[in-house]
């Protein structure tokens, strides 16, 4: 490629020394290499994912029969901790890790913006996550029995949010300021664009969660715990992040992953790309849910805006589905596991958003119990996890330098699909059927099915880790620069795994698919 | 012999990484206060709507100290912009002076804020008023301290000769965060101190 302009950033010079494939904590301790930081985020998030989905299964199992599986206090705390944990310990860091690794490559940058801040954010997140887990075990958590443990939980969550916001600032700043010449914002790859949208929404809404936590902590610690810090009201003040529309905000980067995976593995350019970018933007706008807090606005679910958002968000999703379907029609789909996982993700996304649309229709009375909303949350979070798994399968060869075992990935397609259908849809059915006394007997059976679904997601996390390990093992087929042979975006123009500095000289980008232009 | 004077070099085209990052940090900090004010106004509306006074009996918020703080912070906006303007003209002496004054006025603001807390006679455990007012003003003080650390770090970098007329993003970034902090106090001044 010809160098026709000066690259904007002044990063480290490219060297031919490839980094170790899967960094050990020792090698990345103190490292500001975005690839090491991103990989560690991803691995840690997957480990937390195993625990988080097991906790979700336990919380569901608790409501089977007489509810004696766990004590009432423990059961409630496991449910609350698993919900918050799946978002802040699994889904957000999973996407943030992928973004920290991939976004600089997609925009042609030699590094992430503020690399040391990105590393500090990762370590802070990891430390805070550990403290959060420990505090939850020692009678902390929201409304926990031991006051000091509750304080510890709140402080850990505060640290988590600050860390995730700092990591997001690094990624957003990279996408805005370090793009290679010619890469205008409408030419950035779909994942980068979706991180811009999703990250912006996180920047607007996670500080609101932080403010909630500060109020709870101040009242709990110094104010006597009678208002915001009251045990029974603590979770209610933060639960808005687990409900729609806010829960959709944690899914946004997944939409970009799905679009990138589909474009590459069908070998087709995404048609009407600007429309798809607008759809992702609209999805983001309609997922701002920090205002829908039951604690300060108890009647938000009767608000026309809330109901309209729940219905309207289907439109951008349908536009995206149309774009993806067109890519399948125009291209030649390669039956690889990342494509299967992308399809699973988009199916679960549609089911989750459709369930959300049903939830806002008051005459259906789906808000009388929590079952339907819990089922919808499992569908949305499962869709996000499947998108993350698709992204790891897709960029795994870039990260490890070797092709991942596709058999493991294909097994994961079934596992994730089963997890979503069994875990989410069954709870939605319970929520729907609970209005009819004749169907109430089926509740326990359906909840057992949901437990199995949640357990499948935990297995899915294990399979993703095994898949990554298969790419990193000695003897794995070398991925080369463009692992799929049909790569369209800049990350496929650098070696796998990328060396320090990522790229040599890059040409001026003239379209959203610079590698296809080069071939032409 | 005629002396040929070359025209000044054009500004370097460079990504304003630090300025953009600081703007994001400022936006996130701002959102924390937007959320706190959302809770504050809701709670105050409920209390006042119920026929009670917002502040508990015996509590008072004097105006002299908040006004002094606000005027002090407005002065810091001037000194901060003075620093940006000076460094952009390579006037390092004025830049150091302006940054030093900004930090001193920041310390004065912290002193005045803590003094105001002692005058309010508002117990944090008195109910939601105490929790909300101390959380919001305390969070602003934390934001002020963060802004001061940012300015101090950039001042040290300036002293180390890192900033020039052509490259002074660090000072500009610190100024962006500082202005956001002052804007937050303007909201506090109106919402908590004036319309109490």
Q: Is residue A101 part of a domain?
A: yes
Instruction: Count Cβ neighbours within 10 Å for each residue of A7-26 and write b for 16 or more, e otherwise.
Output: bbbebeebeeeebebbbeee
Task: Name residue, tokens 């908040």.
Answer: B66
Helical packing angle, B169-188 and B17-49, nearest 10°: 0
Q: Is residue A303 part of a domain?
A: yes
- Residue of A34, A207, A221 to mutate, testing the B interface (most B Cβ within 10 Å of its Cβ): A207
Q: What is the pLDDT of residues A323-373, one digit of tens each?
A: 999 999 999 999 999 999 999 999 999 999 999 999 999 998 888 888 999
How far A161 CA sits from the closest chain B CA (Å)? Answer: 11
Domain span at residue A142?
25-502
Q: In CATH, what number is assigned to the domain containing residue A61?
A: 1.20.210.10
Nearest to B31 among A168, A172, A208 (CB): A208
Q: What is the pLDDT of residue A105?
A: 96
Q: How far is CA A260 from CA A174, A175, A285, A324, A387, in A?
A: 19, 16, 21, 10, 11
Q: What is the pLDDT of residues A176-189, one digit of tens each?
A: 999 999 999 999 99
Q: What is the pLDDT of residues A122-159, one digit of tens each?
A: 999 999 999 999 999 888 888 888 899 999 999 999 99
Q: Is residue A479 part of a domain?
A: yes
> The tokens of A334 are what?
């390669």
Question: Please, which residues 39-98 of chain A have a Cβ atom closer than 8 Å to chain B?
Answer: none
What's the total number of domains in chain A? Answer: 1
Cβ burial of A387 (10 Å; 0-12, 13-18, 19+) is buried
Chain centre distance of CA A221: 32
Q: In chain A, what residues touch B134 (CB-CB under 8 Å)?
A: 218, 222
Quote the CA–CA distance of A440 and A449 in Å, as a whole number.
15
Q: In chain B, what residues touch A177 (CB-CB under 8 Å)?
A: 15-17, 20
Quote the CA–CA distance of B21 and A174 in Å, as a whole number.
9
Quote the CA–CA distance of A341 and A258 in Å, as a whole number.
9
Nearest to B35 among A114, A212, A224 (CB): A212
Q: Among A138, A160, A162, A213, which residue's Cα sits nearest to residue A44?
A: A160
Contact A247, A380 (CB under 8 A): yes
Quote the CA–CA distance of A406 and A411 in Å, as a whole number.
9
Radius of gyration of chain A (CA): 22
Task: Name residue, tokens 């496991």.
Answer: A78
Q: How far is CA B166 from CA A308, B88, B97, in A?
A: 50, 7, 20
Q: Is residue A14 part of a domain?
A: no
End-to-end CA separation in angstroms for chain B: 74
The verdict on B12 touching A (C-beta cutoff 8 Å) is no
Q: What is the pLDDT of residue B48?
A: 94
Q: Other CB atoms closer than 10 Å to residue A92's CB: what's the count?
A: 27
The verdict on B142 touching A (C-beta cutoff 8 Å) is no
8 Å CB contact of B33 and A211: yes
Domain boundaries, chain B: 17-50+61-194
8 Å CB contact of B24 and A172: yes
Backbone angles phi, psi at A478, to 5 degrees: -65, 140
The verdict on A222 touching B (C-beta cutoff 8 Å) is yes
Contact A116, A122 (CB under 8 A): no
Classify domain B17-50+61-194 by CATH architecture.
Up-down Bundle (1.20)
The verdict on A172 touching B (C-beta cutoff 8 Å) is yes
Question: Which pLDDT tens digits describe chain B residue by residue (196 residues)?
Answer: 455 666 665 554 557 899 999 999 999 999 999 999 999 999 999 999 999 999 998 888 999 999 999 999 999 999 999 999 999 999 999 999 999 999 999 999 999 999 999 999 899 988 889 999 999 999 999 999 999 999 999 999 999 988 888 889 999 999 999 999 999 999 999 999 998 7
DSSP A519: H
Helical packing angle, A426-433 and A371-400, nearest 10°: 170
Q: Is residue A193 part of a domain?
A: yes
How many A/B residue pairs have CB atoms within 8 Å? 98
Contact A110, A7 (CB under 8 A): yes
Residues of chain A with pLDDT under 70: 1-28, 66-68, 438-440, 518-520
Q: Examine residue B45 and say whether the peptide bond preceding it is cis (omega within 30 degrees of 0).
A: no
Q: Which residues pair with A478 in a beta bridge?
A: A402
Q: What is the pLDDT of residue A12?
A: 44
Residues A214-219: contacts with CB under 8 Å, at least 24 apart: A214/A158, A214/B32, A214/B36, A214/B135, A214/B139, A215/B36, A215/B39, A215/B131, A215/B132, A215/B135, A216/A154, A217/A151, A217/A154, A217/A155, A217/A158, A218/B124, A218/B131, A218/B134, A218/B135, A218/B138, A219/B131
Interface confidence, given as ipTM, is 0.92
Q: What is the pLDDT of residues A446-496, one digit of tens each?
A: 999 999 999 999 999 999 999 999 999 988 999 989 999 999 999 999 999
Side-chain-side CA neighbours of B2 within 13 Å: the count stands at: 3
Backbone angles phi, psi at A402, to 5 degrees: -130, 155
């Amino acid at each position: 490629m010809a160098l026709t302009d000066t690259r904007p950033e002044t990063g480290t010079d490219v060297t031919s020394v490839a980094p170790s494939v899967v960094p050990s904590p020792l090698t990345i301790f103190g490292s500001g290499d975005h690839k090491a930081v991103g990989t560690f985020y991803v691995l840690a998030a997957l480990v937390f994912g195993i625990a988080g989905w097991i906790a979700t299964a336990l919380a569901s199992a608790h409501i089977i029969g007489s509810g004696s599986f766990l004590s009432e206090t423990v059961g409630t705390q496991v449910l609350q901790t698993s919900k918050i944990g799946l978002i802040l310990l699994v889904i957000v860091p999973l996407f943030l890790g992928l973004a920290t690794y991939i976004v600089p490559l997609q925009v042609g940058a030699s590094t992430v913006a503020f690399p040391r801040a990105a590393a500090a954010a990762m370590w802070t997140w990891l430390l805070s996550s550990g403290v959060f887990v420990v505090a939850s075990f020692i009678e902390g958590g929201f409304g926990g029995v031991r006051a000091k443990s509750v304080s510890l939980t709140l402080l850990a969550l505060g640290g988590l949010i600050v860390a995730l916001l700092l990591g997001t600032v690094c990624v957003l700043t990279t996408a805005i300021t370090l793009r290679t010449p010619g890469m205008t914002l409408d030419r950035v790859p779909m994942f980068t664009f979706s991180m811009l949208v999703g990250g912006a929404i996180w920047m607007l809404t996670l500080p609101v969660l932080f403010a909630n936590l500060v109020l709870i902590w101040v009242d709990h610690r110094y104010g006597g715990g009678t208002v915001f810090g009251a045990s029974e009201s603590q979770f209610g003040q933060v639960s808005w992040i687990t409900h729609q529309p806010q829960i959709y905000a944690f899914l946004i980067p997944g939409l970009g992953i799905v679009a990138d995976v589909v474009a590459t593995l069908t070998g087709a350019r995404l048609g009407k790309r600007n429309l798809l970018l607008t759809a992702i933007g609209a999805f983001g706008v309609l997922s701002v849910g920090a205002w829908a807090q039951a604690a300060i606005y108890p009647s938000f679910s009767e608000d026309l805006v809330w109901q309209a958002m729940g219905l309207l968000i289907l439109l951008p999703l349908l536009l995206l589905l149309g774009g993806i379907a067109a890519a399948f029609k125009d291209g030649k789909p390669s039956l690889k596991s990342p494509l299967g996982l992308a399809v699973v993700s988009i199916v679960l996304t549609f089911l989750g958003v459709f369930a959300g649309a049903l939830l806002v229709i008051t005459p259906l009375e789906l808000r009388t119990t929590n079952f339907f909303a819990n089922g919808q949350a499992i569908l949305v979070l499962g869709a996000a996890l499947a998108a993350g798994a698709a992204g790891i399968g897709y960029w795994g060869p870039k990260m490890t330098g070797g092709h991942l075992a596709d058999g493991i990935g294909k097994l994961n397609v079934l596992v994730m699909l089963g997890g979503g259908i069994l875990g989410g849809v069954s709870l939605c059915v319970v929520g729907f059927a609970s209005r009819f006394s004749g169907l109430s007997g089926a509740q326990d059976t359906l909840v057992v099915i949901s437990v199995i679904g949640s357990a499948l997601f935990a297995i899915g996390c294990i399979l993703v880790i095994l898949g990554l390990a298969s790419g990193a093992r000695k003897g794995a087929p070398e991925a080369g620069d463009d692992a799929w042979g049909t790569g369209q975006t800049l990350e496929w123009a650098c070696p796998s795994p990328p060396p320090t500095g990522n790229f040599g000289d890059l040409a001026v980008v003239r379209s959203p698919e610079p590698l296809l232009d080069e071939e032409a | 012999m005629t002396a040929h004077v070359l025209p000044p070099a054009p500004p370097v085209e460079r990504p304003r990484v630090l300025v953009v990052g600081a703007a994001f940090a400022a936006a996130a900090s701002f959102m924390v206060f937007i959320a706190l004010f959302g809770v504050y106004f809701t709670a105050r509306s409920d209390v006042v709507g119920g026929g009670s006074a917002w502040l508990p009996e015996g509590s008072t918020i004097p105006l002299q100290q908040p006004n002094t703080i606000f005027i002090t912070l407005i002065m810091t906006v001037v000194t901060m912009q003075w620093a940006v303007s000076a460094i952009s003209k390579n006037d390092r002496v004025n830049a150091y002076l302006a940054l030093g004054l900004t930090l001193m006025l920041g310390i004065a603001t912290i002193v005045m804020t803590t003094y105001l807390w002692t005058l309010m006679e508002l117990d944090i455990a008195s109910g939601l008023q105490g929790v909300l007012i101390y959380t919001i003003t305390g969070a602003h003080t934390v934001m002020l301290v963060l802004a001061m650390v940012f300015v101090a770090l950039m001042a040290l970098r300036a002293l180390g000769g890192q900033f020039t007329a052509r490259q002074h993003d660090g000072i500009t970034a610190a100024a962006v965060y500082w202005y956001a902090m002052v804007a937050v106090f303007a909201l506090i001044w109106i919402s908590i101190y004036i319309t109490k």
